Amino acid sequence: MSHNTAPPHRVVITGIGAVTPLGHDVETLWSNLLAGKSGIGPIEHFDGSTFPTTFCAHVRDYDHRKFVRHPEYHEHVGLNTRFALGAARQAWGAAGLDDYDTLDRDRVGLYLGSGEGSLDFTNYVATNLAGWSAENRAIDSVAWAKEARQRFDRWGEIEQEANMTLYHLAQELSVGGPAYNCLTACAASTQAIGEATEILRRGDADVMISGGAHTMIHPLGVTGFNRLTALSERNDDPTSASRPFNATRDGFVLGEGSGMVILETLGHATARGATILAEVIGYGSSADAYRITDIHPEGRGPISAMRLALEEAGVTPQDIDYISAHGTGTKENDSIETLAVKAVFGEHAKSVPVSSIKSMLGHLIAAAGAVELITCVLAIRDGKVPPTRNLHTPDPALDLDYVPNTPRDTTVDVALSNSFGFGGQNDTLIIRRYE
């Protein structure tokens, strides 16, 4: 760790990339969000027809090999890493780093909020070995084991490790700076971007690739969230199932994907003539540790995270033009996030647009915060706030401006993005238009 006592560096965003259920690139994602489209449909990774929830938000028809320069390096990767490779390559190219010949790659680091492995073996067993009854396994256990082993070899074991995505990104981009991964549930990629910003501020790197990648669309993931009663079970109408802030909300929709940003010190970005998309000005992190799956009913953790971010940013609640809500669509989350925003923003709370793109994308778990921050960058760029889809029956207890159903044209100079995770992790980022 650096012991530099110089003033902290300003940190800017120079590249963004995304692979999501609503598009495999940023502009497709953005146009679909503004059009209010839904990326939610039937489960395809395995036979989910007998589960309480039979739908999710898949990344469909995606091939990471179209994005990478060295597909031979990434032959055995799981879904998390496939998503991350596409998003990171997009962000890297958008930042113009492929054309910057004097880049010191040992000063380029990674900080990811990446999931716990692809669990491809679980999917395989569920879909391909389910036909092996207990009796048949006993009769021909050698053949059953051989078939399983052919699918889940030594590479399958290695790729389950959460740090493997770091390895593949470092290899693909030939970077050798600091490399970290955090897995703080649904707050992971927001925390990763915040911590990457701190690394740059203290001068330990010039460039950081940061964001998240995740899929939990597998039998264990769906079963677990169903057992927690966290998922919507609106099987008769999946595209309307994710309904944050709606009076009839009944849980979130599981999604998957990746969002990546290129962060740089302002000095490094301006020296190479980079286009600056936004500046990261505030980061707040807290733990309320109330219950494993519940936010404190008074919103203590989210309140603390937002206040810390505002303090670091040196702005007031009145300066915030848009809040990208965590907005999962569960009864508890939406109510407590609303309470927390009102506690922090006071009278201004009802004047600031608040929306949840999870209403269209589903919940990308560890990757959610990064994709939501990217949409804040785009809101600043285009002067448009994405809507909260499916908000047709407002909850009378929730009285903020949730931008129902249609996008809004409005100037966004400063945006705040919230992410809250199981286990009491709360993280907030604030970005602003670069002047």
Q: Which two tokens stand for residue 419?
A: 């992410």
What is the three-class DSSP state of 403? Answer: coil
Strand ranges in 293-412 using DSSP code E only, listed in sequence order = 322-324, 354-355, 384-385, 408-409
Answer for the pair 215, 374: CB distance below 8 angstroms, yes or no. Answer: no
Q: Which of 9, 24, 214, 363 is catalytic?
A: 363
Q: Which two tokens stand for residue 374?
A: 């990217």
With CA atoms as reference, report the closest residue to 414 among 430, 435, 395: 430
363 is catalytic: yes
Answer for the pair 112, 173: CB distance below 8 angstroms, yes or no. Answer: no
70 is catalytic: no
Answer for the pair 18, 374: CB distance below 8 angstroms, yes or no. Answer: yes
Q: Which two tokens stand for residue 301?
A: 């953790």
Strand ranges in 197-266 using DSSP code E only, listed in sequence order = 207-215, 256-265
Q: Which of 24, 58, 64, 326 is catalytic?
A: 326
Handedness of CA 222, 225, 227, 230 (dihedral sign): negative
Task: Write down the residue that tokens 């849980």 correspond to.
Answer: 251
Which amino acid, residue 38?
Answer: S
- The residues pairing with 57 across neighbouring beta strands, listed in sequence order, are 255
Q: Which two tokens stand for residue 157?
A: 């074991």
* Main-chain dihedrals φ then ψ at residue 66, nearest 5 degrees: -70, -20
Q: Give the N- to C-terminal CA distance of the chain in Å, as an integer.
A: 30
How many C-beta atoms surround the C-beta of residue 143 within 10 A?
Answer: 12
CA distance 404 to 376: 17
CA distance 123 to 45: 7
Q: Which of 56, 182, 186, 376 is catalytic?
A: 186
Q: At a CB cut-off of 8 Å and minimum separation 6, what does 162 contact?
A: 114, 115, 116, 117, 181, 183
Q: What separation in angstroms does the CA of 52 have from each of 38, 224, 233, 317?
A: 21, 11, 6, 41
Q: Which two tokens stand for residue 430?
A: 């604030």
With CA atoms as reference, report the closest residue to 203 among 262, 268, 278, 260: 268
* Residues designated catalytic: 186, 326, 363
